[in-house]
Amino acid sequence: MSSYPDLVACGMSHMQFYFHVAGGLEDIDAFWETRGLDRSRERLLFSGYSRQGRPHTIFLQWSRSHEECSDVYVGIDARRPAAVWPGRKAKDYRLREDDFRAFIEMVRQMTVPWGIRARYAYPWEGKGLASALRRPHVRLTSISFDVLDEKQDPAVSVTYEDGGDNWLAIVEPAMRFPFPETDNFFLLPYQMGCSLAAVIRGAIEHI
């Protein structure tokens, strides 16, 4: 499979990931500086790609957390870069696939203490959801649920959110992924997102 997946094939609108790199800010800044990103610039890179003729955008952000640590955000969205990052010129923020692979390889040698937190979004027809809670002078914009495990601990958080043109079902598993052992960062998270798609579609139909 390609390192950049086809979200639409699994019925996803976007998927986003967060991880913390202990003491990694200087190394990350230096890595991208050698690849042409001035340290005074915004810590953001993105690029567009296509799967089956459908536009996608991959992005990478990082920021200083406490001391010299870094919080890193990676995402793929089933929209064009201009829709995901309006007002920014793609040529000024270009994320090359080879550079992204090298970045993942570098981070693998660093300390990612809590693994990777994932967040998935699926398109959903939300008219029924909104009408179910209709009240005078009230407009429903989001509603959240926790799905509990057998110990009654939160296993998955599900939020139905009004995205303007359409509703989204946003799913956040409580579990975290270990940092990948290969340079295909998206393999395991994408498989999880595809598996969740069928589960979420079935759950939504009963709301």
Specify the pLDDT at position 102.
95
Q: Identify the bridge partners of residue 88 per DSSP, sorted by sequence position.
A: none
Q: Is 4 part of a structural domain of the chain?
A: no
Q: Is 176 part of a structural domain of the chain?
A: yes
Q: Is 171 part of a structural domain of the chain?
A: yes
Q: Is 2 part of a structural domain of the chain?
A: no
Q: Is 102 part of a structural domain of the chain?
A: yes
* Number of domains into which the chain is organized: 1
Model confidence over 124-172: pLDDT tens digits? 865 555 555 556 666 667 788 887 878 888 888 888 887 667 788 899 9
Instruction: Provide long-range contacts, Cβ within 8 A and 24+ apart, for 105-108.
Output: 105/183, 106/27, 106/28, 106/31, 107/21, 107/24, 107/28, 107/72, 107/179, 108/179, 108/180, 108/181
Closest Cα partner for 158 from 121, 193, 195, 191?
121
Range of the domain at 152: 11-204
Is a pLDDT exceeding 70 seen at residue 202?
no
Q: Is 5 part of a structural domain of the chain?
A: no
Model confidence over 56-81: pLDDT tens digits? 999 999 999 988 999 999 999 999 99
